[in-house]
Chain A
Amino acid sequence: VSRTLHQAAITGVGYTPFTKASGKSVHALADEACRAAITDAGIDAAEVDGIISFSVMHDSVPCQAVATSLALGDTRLLLDVDLGGQAPCYLVELAAMAIETGRAENVLVFRSMNGRSGPKVGGMQFHGAGGQFRYPIGFDAYMMYVAMFANRFLHETGQGFDDLAAVAIAQRRYAEMNDRAYRRQPLDIEAYRNAPLIVEPFRSDDCTVEVDGACAVLVTSLERGRDHAVPPAVIASTAYAAGRRSGLDLGDHLLWEDYTRNYTSHLREDLFARAGLTPGDIQFAEIYDCFTSTVLLGLEGLGLCGRGESGGRVRDGWTALDGGLPTNTHGGLLAEGYLHGMNTVAEAVLQIQGRGGSRQVARHETCAVTSGAMMDGSAMILTADR
Protein backbone atom coordinates (compact mmCIF):
# COMPACT_ATOMS: atom_id res chain seq x y z
CA VAL A 1 0.00 0.00 0.00
CA SER A 2 1.43 3.36 -1.06
CA ARG A 3 0.80 6.26 1.31
CA THR A 4 3.11 8.91 -0.05
CA LEU A 5 2.67 12.51 1.10
CA HIS A 6 3.69 14.99 -1.55
CA GLN A 7 4.72 18.44 -0.40
CA ALA A 8 2.72 21.03 -2.38
CA ALA A 9 4.04 24.11 -4.14
CA ILE A 10 2.95 26.79 -6.59
CA THR A 11 4.74 27.34 -9.88
CA GLY A 12 2.93 29.08 -12.74
CA VAL A 13 1.00 32.31 -12.40
CA GLY A 14 -1.21 33.91 -15.05
CA TYR A 15 -3.01 37.20 -15.45
CA THR A 16 -5.14 39.03 -17.94
CA PRO A 17 -4.68 42.79 -18.08
CA PHE A 18 -6.67 44.62 -15.39
CA THR A 19 -9.01 47.02 -17.15
CA LYS A 20 -12.02 49.29 -16.80
CA ALA A 21 -14.07 47.32 -19.32
CA SER A 22 -12.67 44.05 -20.63
CA GLY A 23 -15.21 43.61 -23.40
CA LYS A 24 -14.82 39.90 -22.73
CA SER A 25 -16.86 37.26 -20.96
CA VAL A 26 -15.76 36.05 -17.53
CA HIS A 27 -15.23 32.72 -19.26
CA ALA A 28 -12.81 34.24 -21.80
CA LEU A 29 -10.95 36.04 -19.01
CA ALA A 30 -10.68 32.87 -16.93
CA ASP A 31 -9.50 30.91 -19.92
CA GLU A 32 -6.83 33.50 -20.70
CA ALA A 33 -5.44 33.66 -17.14
CA CYS A 34 -5.45 29.87 -16.71
CA ARG A 35 -3.77 29.39 -20.07
CA ALA A 36 -1.09 31.92 -19.03
CA ALA A 37 -0.48 30.05 -15.75
CA ILE A 38 -0.09 26.74 -17.60
CA THR A 39 2.31 28.31 -20.09
CA ASP A 40 4.23 29.98 -17.27
CA ALA A 41 4.70 26.60 -15.58
CA GLY A 42 5.86 25.18 -18.90
CA ILE A 43 3.53 22.19 -18.82
CA ASP A 44 0.88 20.86 -21.13
CA ALA A 45 -2.81 21.50 -20.45
CA ALA A 46 -3.33 17.74 -20.53
CA GLU A 47 -1.26 17.50 -17.34
CA VAL A 48 -3.76 19.66 -15.42
CA ASP A 49 -6.24 17.47 -13.57
CA GLY A 50 -7.82 19.92 -11.14
CA ILE A 51 -9.49 23.31 -11.27
CA ILE A 52 -10.97 25.40 -8.45
CA SER A 53 -12.49 28.87 -8.34
CA PHE A 54 -14.74 31.14 -6.31
CA SER A 55 -17.46 33.62 -7.02
CA VAL A 56 -20.00 35.79 -5.24
CA MET A 57 -23.63 35.84 -6.38
CA HIS A 58 -22.66 33.92 -9.55
CA ASP A 59 -20.40 36.68 -10.92
CA SER A 60 -17.96 34.21 -12.51
CA VAL A 61 -17.86 31.16 -14.73
CA PRO A 62 -18.20 27.53 -13.61
CA CYS A 63 -14.91 25.62 -13.53
CA GLN A 64 -16.47 23.00 -15.76
CA ALA A 65 -16.65 25.54 -18.60
CA VAL A 66 -13.03 26.54 -18.19
CA ALA A 67 -11.89 22.92 -18.06
CA THR A 68 -13.79 22.42 -21.29
CA SER A 69 -12.35 25.39 -23.17
CA LEU A 70 -8.83 24.58 -21.96
CA ALA A 71 -9.38 21.08 -23.34
CA LEU A 72 -8.18 19.57 -20.07
CA GLY A 73 -8.01 15.81 -19.84
CA ASP A 74 -9.89 13.79 -17.25
CA THR A 75 -10.45 16.07 -14.27
CA ARG A 76 -9.97 14.66 -10.77
CA LEU A 77 -10.81 17.78 -8.77
CA LEU A 78 -13.33 20.44 -9.73
CA LEU A 79 -14.86 22.89 -7.29
CA ASP A 80 -16.87 26.12 -7.52
CA VAL A 81 -16.93 27.85 -4.16
CA ASP A 82 -19.44 30.52 -3.15
CA LEU A 83 -17.12 32.77 -1.12
CA GLY A 84 -15.51 36.17 -1.42
CA GLY A 85 -12.10 37.44 -0.40
CA GLN A 86 -11.80 34.68 2.20
CA ALA A 87 -11.21 32.20 -0.59
CA PRO A 88 -7.84 32.47 -2.36
CA CYS A 89 -5.51 30.97 0.28
CA TYR A 90 -8.29 28.56 1.27
CA LEU A 91 -8.62 27.27 -2.29
CA VAL A 92 -4.85 26.88 -2.54
CA GLU A 93 -5.12 24.90 0.70
CA LEU A 94 -7.74 22.59 -0.80
CA ALA A 95 -5.61 22.13 -3.92
CA ALA A 96 -2.56 21.43 -1.76
CA MET A 97 -4.45 18.85 0.30
CA ALA A 98 -5.50 17.07 -2.88
CA ILE A 99 -1.93 17.05 -4.13
CA GLU A 100 -0.47 15.97 -0.80
CA THR A 101 -2.84 13.00 -0.65
CA GLY A 102 -2.32 12.00 -4.27
CA ARG A 103 -5.84 12.96 -5.40
CA ALA A 104 -4.57 15.34 -8.06
CA GLU A 105 -1.29 16.41 -9.65
CA ASN A 106 -1.65 19.89 -11.14
CA VAL A 107 -4.48 22.11 -9.97
CA LEU A 108 -5.45 25.53 -11.31
CA VAL A 109 -6.87 28.04 -8.82
CA PHE A 110 -8.36 31.13 -10.40
CA ARG A 111 -10.67 34.12 -9.98
CA SER A 112 -12.35 35.79 -12.95
CA MET A 113 -14.61 38.82 -12.76
CA ASN A 114 -15.86 41.77 -14.71
CA GLY A 115 -15.72 43.51 -11.38
CA ARG A 116 -15.89 47.02 -12.78
CA SER A 117 -18.03 46.82 -15.91
CA GLY A 118 -20.21 44.03 -14.51
CA PRO A 119 -21.51 43.07 -11.05
CA LYS A 120 -19.63 44.88 -8.26
CA VAL A 121 -19.03 42.78 -5.15
CA GLY A 122 -18.92 45.82 -2.86
CA GLY A 123 -22.57 46.65 -3.38
CA MET A 124 -24.02 43.16 -3.63
CA GLN A 125 -26.89 42.17 -1.37
CA PHE A 126 -25.76 38.78 -0.16
CA HIS A 127 -28.02 35.76 0.22
CA GLY A 128 -28.85 34.84 3.80
CA ALA A 129 -30.95 35.98 6.73
CA GLY A 130 -28.65 38.75 7.93
CA GLY A 131 -29.41 41.18 5.13
CA GLN A 132 -32.84 42.21 6.45
CA PHE A 133 -31.11 43.84 9.43
CA ARG A 134 -28.69 45.88 7.27
CA TYR A 135 -30.00 46.74 3.82
CA PRO A 136 -33.27 48.52 4.71
CA ILE A 137 -31.43 51.01 6.96
CA GLY A 138 -28.77 51.93 4.40
CA PHE A 139 -26.12 49.70 5.94
CA ASP A 140 -25.69 48.14 2.56
CA ALA A 141 -22.12 48.18 1.26
CA TYR A 142 -19.19 45.99 2.13
CA MET A 143 -17.08 49.06 2.83
CA MET A 144 -19.52 50.04 5.58
CA TYR A 145 -18.99 46.73 7.35
CA VAL A 146 -15.23 46.99 7.13
CA ALA A 147 -15.52 50.62 8.30
CA MET A 148 -17.54 49.40 11.31
CA PHE A 149 -14.57 47.20 12.24
CA ALA A 150 -12.06 49.95 11.40
CA ASN A 151 -13.60 52.63 13.58
CA ARG A 152 -13.65 50.40 16.65
CA PHE A 153 -10.13 49.16 15.86
CA LEU A 154 -8.71 52.68 15.56
CA HIS A 155 -10.59 53.77 18.69
CA GLU A 156 -9.44 50.89 20.83
CA THR A 157 -5.83 50.71 19.65
CA GLY A 158 -5.26 54.47 19.73
CA GLN A 159 -4.62 54.80 16.00
CA GLY A 160 -6.13 57.24 13.52
CA PHE A 161 -6.91 58.32 9.98
CA ASP A 162 -3.25 59.07 9.22
CA ASP A 163 -2.39 55.46 9.92
CA LEU A 164 -4.83 54.41 7.20
CA ALA A 165 -3.41 57.06 4.87
CA ALA A 166 0.08 55.66 5.44
CA VAL A 167 -1.05 52.25 4.13
CA ALA A 168 -2.49 53.76 0.94
CA ILE A 169 0.62 55.88 0.35
CA ALA A 170 3.09 53.06 1.02
CA GLN A 171 1.31 50.73 -1.35
CA ARG A 172 1.02 53.33 -4.10
CA ARG A 173 4.82 53.50 -4.22
CA TYR A 174 4.89 49.84 -5.16
CA ALA A 175 2.17 50.36 -7.75
CA GLU A 176 4.34 52.97 -9.44
CA MET A 177 6.79 50.09 -10.04
CA ASN A 178 4.12 47.70 -11.32
CA ASP A 179 3.01 47.88 -14.95
CA ARG A 180 -0.05 45.81 -14.14
CA ALA A 181 -1.33 48.20 -11.49
CA TYR A 182 -4.47 50.14 -12.30
CA ARG A 183 -3.72 53.09 -10.01
CA ARG A 184 -0.16 54.25 -10.65
CA GLN A 185 -0.26 58.00 -10.11
CA PRO A 186 1.78 59.09 -7.07
CA LEU A 187 -0.13 59.60 -3.82
CA ASP A 188 0.86 61.87 -0.94
CA ILE A 189 -0.95 62.87 2.23
CA GLU A 190 -2.36 66.06 0.71
CA ALA A 191 -3.85 64.25 -2.25
CA TYR A 192 -5.18 61.60 0.12
CA ARG A 193 -6.87 64.17 2.35
CA ASN A 194 -8.23 66.15 -0.59
CA ALA A 195 -10.54 63.29 -1.49
CA PRO A 196 -13.81 63.48 0.43
CA LEU A 197 -14.87 60.94 3.02
CA ILE A 198 -17.12 58.29 1.51
CA VAL A 199 -17.83 56.26 4.61
CA GLU A 200 -15.82 57.46 7.58
CA PRO A 201 -12.94 56.63 8.01
CA PHE A 202 -12.54 55.77 4.33
CA ARG A 203 -11.73 58.12 1.46
CA SER A 204 -11.35 56.89 -2.11
CA ASP A 205 -7.68 55.92 -1.68
CA ASP A 206 -8.58 53.69 1.26
CA CYS A 207 -10.72 51.59 -1.07
CA THR A 208 -9.74 48.92 -3.52
CA VAL A 209 -10.00 49.85 -7.17
CA GLU A 210 -12.46 47.63 -9.01
CA VAL A 211 -11.26 46.12 -12.28
CA ASP A 212 -12.18 43.58 -14.91
CA GLY A 213 -9.75 40.69 -15.19
CA ALA A 214 -8.66 37.26 -14.10
CA CYS A 215 -5.74 35.74 -12.26
CA ALA A 216 -4.67 32.11 -11.85
CA VAL A 217 -1.98 30.08 -10.11
CA LEU A 218 -0.93 26.47 -10.66
CA VAL A 219 -0.59 24.28 -7.58
CA THR A 220 1.52 21.15 -7.96
CA SER A 221 3.83 18.93 -5.95
CA LEU A 222 7.26 20.23 -5.03
CA GLU A 223 8.77 17.20 -6.67
CA ARG A 224 6.99 17.85 -9.96
CA GLY A 225 7.36 21.62 -9.65
CA ARG A 226 11.14 21.34 -9.69
CA ASP A 227 10.81 20.29 -13.34
CA HIS A 228 8.54 23.22 -14.25
CA ALA A 229 9.80 26.28 -16.12
CA VAL A 230 9.74 28.52 -13.04
CA PRO A 231 10.93 27.80 -9.48
CA PRO A 232 8.43 26.31 -7.04
CA ALA A 233 7.12 28.45 -4.18
CA VAL A 234 6.73 25.90 -1.40
CA ILE A 235 3.42 25.93 0.48
CA ALA A 236 4.87 25.64 3.98
CA SER A 237 1.48 25.97 5.65
CA THR A 238 -2.11 26.98 5.09
CA ALA A 239 -4.97 27.76 7.44
CA TYR A 240 -8.60 28.77 7.26
CA ALA A 241 -10.57 30.05 10.25
CA ALA A 242 -14.10 31.18 10.88
CA GLY A 243 -14.23 32.32 14.48
CA ARG A 244 -17.17 31.28 16.63
CA ARG A 245 -20.51 32.84 15.73
CA SER A 246 -19.30 34.22 12.42
CA GLY A 247 -22.85 35.19 11.49
CA LEU A 248 -25.72 34.47 9.11
CA ASP A 249 -24.14 35.57 5.83
CA LEU A 250 -21.00 37.05 4.25
CA GLY A 251 -21.72 40.51 5.65
CA ASP A 252 -23.33 39.71 9.01
CA HIS A 253 -21.14 40.71 11.95
CA LEU A 254 -23.85 41.07 14.61
CA LEU A 255 -22.54 38.17 16.69
CA TRP A 256 -18.85 38.94 16.20
CA GLU A 257 -17.87 40.39 19.53
CA ASP A 258 -14.49 42.00 18.86
CA TYR A 259 -14.20 44.26 15.79
CA THR A 260 -10.53 44.93 16.60
CA ARG A 261 -9.59 41.37 15.70
CA ASN A 262 -10.48 39.55 12.50
CA TYR A 263 -9.87 35.97 11.33
CA THR A 264 -6.10 36.53 11.25
CA SER A 265 -6.07 36.47 15.06
CA HIS A 266 -7.91 33.14 14.97
CA LEU A 267 -5.76 31.28 12.44
CA ARG A 268 -2.37 32.65 13.51
CA GLU A 269 -1.50 29.78 15.83
CA ASP A 270 -2.36 27.07 13.29
CA LEU A 271 -0.60 28.92 10.50
CA PHE A 272 2.76 29.29 12.19
CA ALA A 273 2.68 25.93 14.00
CA ARG A 274 2.05 24.06 10.75
CA ALA A 275 5.02 25.80 9.12
CA GLY A 276 7.29 25.41 12.14
CA LEU A 277 7.97 29.15 11.91
CA THR A 278 7.30 32.23 14.01
CA PRO A 279 6.17 35.71 12.93
CA GLY A 280 9.79 36.86 13.28
CA ASP A 281 10.80 34.47 10.48
CA ILE A 282 8.58 36.19 7.91
CA GLN A 283 10.53 38.37 5.45
CA PHE A 284 7.68 39.95 3.50
CA ALA A 285 3.90 39.91 3.56
CA GLU A 286 0.98 40.12 1.17
CA ILE A 287 -2.03 41.11 3.28
CA TYR A 288 -5.56 41.20 1.87
CA ASP A 289 -6.55 44.83 1.48
CA CYS A 290 -10.00 45.56 0.14
CA PHE A 291 -9.62 48.61 2.42
CA THR A 292 -6.56 50.07 4.16
CA SER A 293 -7.71 49.04 7.63
CA THR A 294 -7.53 45.32 6.87
CA VAL A 295 -3.77 45.62 6.39
CA LEU A 296 -3.41 46.94 9.94
CA LEU A 297 -5.71 44.27 11.38
CA GLY A 298 -3.79 41.62 9.44
CA LEU A 299 -0.32 42.74 10.51
CA GLU A 300 -1.42 42.82 14.15
CA GLY A 301 -3.58 39.71 13.94
CA LEU A 302 -0.76 37.58 12.57
CA GLY A 303 1.56 38.95 15.25
CA LEU A 304 3.90 40.46 12.67
CA CYS A 305 3.89 43.52 14.94
CA GLY A 306 2.39 44.31 18.32
CA ARG A 307 -1.16 45.42 18.99
CA GLY A 308 -1.66 49.07 18.17
CA GLU A 309 1.76 49.30 16.51
CA SER A 310 0.90 48.66 12.88
CA GLY A 311 0.05 52.22 11.82
CA GLY A 312 3.19 53.69 13.32
CA ARG A 313 5.28 50.98 11.68
CA VAL A 314 3.79 51.69 8.28
CA ARG A 315 4.32 55.45 8.73
CA ASP A 316 7.98 54.72 9.59
CA GLY A 317 8.56 52.85 6.33
CA TRP A 318 8.56 49.34 7.75
CA THR A 319 6.39 47.98 4.91
CA ALA A 320 8.34 49.75 2.11
CA LEU A 321 10.68 47.96 -0.28
CA ASP A 322 13.70 48.86 1.86
CA GLY A 323 11.87 48.33 5.17
CA GLY A 324 11.86 45.43 7.61
CA LEU A 325 8.71 43.80 6.24
CA PRO A 326 7.88 44.81 2.67
CA THR A 327 4.11 44.46 2.39
CA ASN A 328 1.69 44.39 -0.53
CA THR A 329 4.50 44.73 -3.02
CA HIS A 330 2.17 44.84 -6.03
CA GLY A 331 0.38 47.87 -4.65
CA GLY A 332 -2.29 45.64 -3.19
CA LEU A 333 -5.92 45.45 -4.15
CA LEU A 334 -5.89 49.17 -3.35
CA ALA A 335 -3.72 49.97 -6.37
CA GLU A 336 -3.04 46.93 -8.54
CA GLY A 337 -6.74 46.17 -8.64
CA TYR A 338 -9.49 44.14 -7.06
CA LEU A 339 -8.94 40.61 -8.27
CA HIS A 340 -10.41 39.58 -4.95
CA GLY A 341 -7.10 38.54 -3.43
CA MET A 342 -6.13 36.03 -6.11
CA ASN A 343 -3.55 38.58 -7.29
CA THR A 344 -2.32 38.86 -3.68
CA VAL A 345 -1.43 35.17 -3.83
CA ALA A 346 0.11 35.50 -7.31
CA GLU A 347 2.31 38.41 -6.17
CA ALA A 348 3.63 36.36 -3.25
CA VAL A 349 4.58 33.59 -5.68
CA LEU A 350 6.36 35.99 -8.06
CA GLN A 351 8.35 37.51 -5.19
CA ILE A 352 9.36 34.13 -3.74
CA GLN A 353 10.49 33.15 -7.24
CA GLY A 354 12.57 36.34 -7.57
CA ARG A 355 10.41 37.57 -10.43
CA GLY A 356 9.34 40.85 -8.80
CA GLY A 357 11.21 43.05 -11.27
CA SER A 358 11.98 46.56 -10.01
CA ARG A 359 9.86 45.91 -6.92
CA GLN A 360 11.60 42.63 -6.03
CA VAL A 361 12.17 42.33 -2.28
CA ALA A 362 15.75 41.63 -1.20
CA ARG A 363 14.93 38.81 1.20
CA HIS A 364 12.40 36.52 -0.43
CA GLU A 365 12.52 33.16 1.31
CA THR A 366 9.47 33.41 3.58
CA CYS A 367 6.18 35.17 2.97
CA ALA A 368 2.86 35.37 4.82
CA VAL A 369 -0.23 35.77 2.61
CA THR A 370 -3.79 36.40 3.77
CA SER A 371 -7.26 36.29 2.21
CA GLY A 372 -10.25 37.99 3.81
CA ALA A 373 -11.26 40.99 5.85
CA MET A 374 -13.63 40.18 8.70
CA MET A 375 -15.00 37.08 10.44
CA ASP A 376 -13.55 34.32 8.34
CA GLY A 377 -10.56 34.03 6.09
CA SER A 378 -7.48 32.11 5.18
CA ALA A 379 -3.74 32.47 5.02
CA MET A 380 -0.60 30.66 4.00
CA ILE A 381 3.13 30.78 4.34
CA LEU A 382 5.19 30.36 1.21
CA THR A 383 8.89 29.60 1.30
CA ALA A 384 11.64 29.33 -1.26
CA ASP A 385 12.74 25.81 -2.23
CA ARG A 386 15.77 25.00 -0.07
Chain B
Amino acid sequence: MSSSRVPAFADVDSTAFWEALGEHRLVLQRCGANGHVRFPPMPACPVCADTEFDTVAVDGGGVVYSRVRVHRALSPAMANETPYTVAAVDLDAGPRVFARVEPDAAIGDRVQPTFVDHADWTELRFRPELDQSTGDQS
Protein backbone atom coordinates (compact mmCIF):
# COMPACT_ATOMS: atom_id res chain seq x y z
CA MET B 1 0.00 0.00 0.00
CA SER B 2 1.64 3.20 -1.12
CA SER B 3 -0.77 5.76 0.37
CA SER B 4 0.92 7.58 3.22
CA ARG B 5 -0.91 7.76 6.53
CA VAL B 6 -0.62 11.45 7.34
CA PRO B 7 -3.51 12.61 9.53
CA ALA B 8 -5.60 15.66 8.70
CA PHE B 9 -4.33 17.36 11.85
CA ALA B 10 -0.69 17.26 10.67
CA ASP B 11 0.97 20.40 9.32
CA VAL B 12 3.86 20.96 6.93
CA ASP B 13 6.44 20.81 9.71
CA SER B 14 5.09 17.59 11.21
CA THR B 15 4.29 15.60 8.05
CA ALA B 16 7.52 13.57 8.13
CA PHE B 17 6.92 12.59 11.75
CA TRP B 18 3.36 11.34 11.16
CA GLU B 19 4.30 9.68 7.87
CA ALA B 20 7.04 7.68 9.62
CA LEU B 21 4.70 6.66 12.47
CA GLY B 22 2.42 5.27 9.76
CA GLU B 23 5.35 3.02 8.82
CA HIS B 24 5.91 2.18 12.52
CA ARG B 25 9.09 4.18 12.70
CA LEU B 26 9.92 7.13 14.93
CA VAL B 27 11.79 9.94 13.19
CA LEU B 28 12.82 13.23 14.73
CA GLN B 29 14.41 16.42 13.49
CA ARG B 30 18.14 16.90 14.17
CA CYS B 31 19.75 20.32 14.10
CA GLY B 32 22.34 20.75 11.35
CA ALA B 33 24.47 23.04 13.49
CA ASN B 34 24.61 21.50 16.95
CA GLY B 35 23.18 18.01 16.40
CA HIS B 36 20.41 18.58 18.95
CA VAL B 37 17.51 16.16 18.31
CA ARG B 38 14.21 17.94 18.86
CA PHE B 39 10.50 17.43 19.34
CA PRO B 40 7.95 18.71 18.46
CA PRO B 41 8.88 19.34 14.81
CA MET B 42 9.49 23.02 14.07
CA PRO B 43 11.27 25.19 11.52
CA ALA B 44 14.41 25.86 13.60
CA CYS B 45 16.42 24.56 16.52
CA PRO B 46 14.96 25.71 19.88
CA VAL B 47 18.46 25.66 21.36
CA CYS B 48 20.54 27.54 18.76
CA ALA B 49 17.90 28.79 16.28
CA ASP B 50 19.68 27.23 13.31
CA THR B 51 17.31 26.47 10.46
CA GLU B 52 19.28 23.59 8.89
CA PHE B 53 18.14 20.14 9.95
CA ASP B 54 17.70 16.57 8.83
CA THR B 55 15.49 13.79 10.15
CA VAL B 56 16.85 10.77 11.99
CA ALA B 57 15.25 7.49 13.00
CA VAL B 58 15.49 6.69 16.73
CA ASP B 59 14.58 3.51 18.59
CA GLY B 60 12.14 5.23 20.94
CA GLY B 61 13.06 3.83 24.36
CA GLY B 62 12.71 6.27 27.22
CA VAL B 63 11.92 7.09 30.84
CA VAL B 64 8.68 8.43 32.32
CA TYR B 65 9.38 12.00 33.52
CA SER B 66 5.80 12.58 34.67
CA ARG B 67 2.41 11.06 34.03
CA VAL B 68 -1.28 11.69 34.54
CA ARG B 69 -3.93 9.05 35.15
CA VAL B 70 -7.20 10.13 33.58
CA HIS B 71 -10.25 8.76 35.39
CA ARG B 72 -12.85 10.99 33.75
CA ALA B 73 -12.33 11.76 30.08
CA LEU B 74 -13.03 15.19 28.70
CA SER B 75 -13.92 14.11 25.19
CA PRO B 76 -16.67 11.59 24.46
CA ALA B 77 -14.23 9.81 22.14
CA MET B 78 -12.08 8.84 25.14
CA ALA B 79 -14.92 7.89 27.51
CA ASN B 80 -14.53 4.17 26.88
CA GLU B 81 -10.77 4.33 27.41
CA THR B 82 -10.77 5.41 31.08
CA PRO B 83 -8.83 5.04 33.18
CA TYR B 84 -5.85 5.71 30.96
CA THR B 85 -2.38 7.14 31.46
CA VAL B 86 -0.63 9.84 29.46
CA ALA B 87 3.05 10.27 30.18
CA ALA B 88 5.74 12.78 29.40
CA VAL B 89 8.44 10.40 28.22
CA ASP B 90 12.06 11.51 27.99
CA LEU B 91 13.41 9.60 25.03
CA ASP B 92 16.91 8.15 25.12
CA ALA B 93 17.40 10.16 21.91
CA GLY B 94 16.90 13.39 23.89
CA PRO B 95 13.53 15.05 23.52
CA ARG B 96 10.33 14.61 25.48
CA VAL B 97 7.11 13.30 23.95
CA PHE B 98 3.57 12.96 25.26
CA ALA B 99 2.06 9.53 24.77
CA ARG B 100 -0.22 7.02 26.38
CA VAL B 101 1.42 4.25 28.39
CA GLU B 102 -0.48 0.98 28.63
CA PRO B 103 -0.57 -0.55 31.11
CA ASP B 104 0.20 2.19 33.62
CA ALA B 105 3.74 3.17 34.53
CA ALA B 106 5.26 5.23 37.34
CA ILE B 107 7.59 8.20 37.22
CA GLY B 108 11.09 6.92 36.57
CA ASP B 109 9.99 3.72 34.82
CA ARG B 110 11.61 2.75 31.53
CA VAL B 111 9.22 2.37 28.60
CA GLN B 112 9.40 1.06 25.04
CA PRO B 113 7.43 2.28 22.02
CA THR B 114 4.53 0.55 20.32
CA PHE B 115 2.60 1.72 17.29
CA VAL B 116 -1.18 1.73 17.38
CA ASP B 117 -2.95 2.05 14.05
CA HIS B 118 -6.15 4.09 14.00
CA ALA B 119 -8.36 4.56 10.95
CA ASP B 120 -6.28 7.31 9.36
CA TRP B 121 -3.25 7.79 11.60
CA THR B 122 -0.82 5.89 13.75
CA GLU B 123 -0.34 6.64 17.41
CA LEU B 124 2.98 6.41 19.26
CA ARG B 125 2.24 4.62 22.51
CA PHE B 126 4.49 3.07 25.14
CA ARG B 127 4.52 0.00 27.33
CA PRO B 128 6.56 -0.49 30.49
CA GLU B 129 9.88 -2.10 29.55
CA LEU B 130 9.54 -4.91 32.11
CA ASP B 131 5.96 -5.72 31.12
CA GLN B 132 5.79 -8.72 28.78
CA SER B 133 2.00 -8.85 28.50
CA THR B 134 1.58 -6.49 25.58
CA GLY B 135 3.57 -6.28 22.43
CA ASP B 136 3.23 -4.24 19.32
CA GLN B 137 -0.49 -3.71 18.99
CA SER B 138 -0.47 -3.03 15.29
Contacts and interface: CB of A to CB of B under 8 A. Distances in A.
A197 B69 contact: yes
Interface in B55-112: 65-75, 77-78, 81, 84, 86, 88, 95-100, 107
Contact of A138 (B14, B75, B95, B107): B75
Interface stretch (A127-135, A223-231, A308-316, A372-380): A127-135
A151 B107 contact: yes
Contacts of B66: 148-149, 151-152, 155, 259
Given A152-B107, A254-B97, A130 B40 contact: yes
B44 to A, nearest CB: 12
B10 interface: yes
B68 A129 contact: no
A139 B97 contact: no
Given A196-B71, A199-B69, A139 B86 contact: yes
Interface string A202-219: 000000000000000000
A134 B98 contact: yes
B98 A248 contact: no
B42 interface: yes
A136 B7 contact: yes
B78 A136 contact: no
B71 A199 contact: yes
A273 interface: no
A133 B40 contact: yes
Contact of B42 (A123, A137, A144, A248): A248
A274 interface: no
B9 A138 contact: no
B11 A129 contact: yes
B11, B72, B84, B123: most-surrounded residue (chain A CB, <10 A): B72
B39 A254 contact: yes
Interface residues of A, number: 33
Interface in A135-159: 135-141, 144, 147-149, 151-152, 155
A151 B99 CA distance: 16
Nearest to A131: B9
A241 B86 CA distance: 28
Interface in A73-89: none
Interface in A250-286: 252-255, 259
B46 A255 contact: yes
Contacts of B72: 196, 198-199
B73 A133 contact: no
Nearest to B41: A129
A254 B70 contact: no
B71 A132 contact: no
A103 interface: no
Given A138-B73, A140-B75, A155-B107, A148 B68 contact: yes
Contacts of B14: 129, 132
A132 B69 contact: no
Interface in A187-205: 196-200
Given A138-B75, A252-B40, A259-B66, 7 more contacts: A132-B7, A134-B98, A138-B100, A144-B70, A196-B72, A197-B69, A254-B39
6 contacts: A136-B9, A138-B75, A138-B86, A155-B66, A198-B72, A254-B39
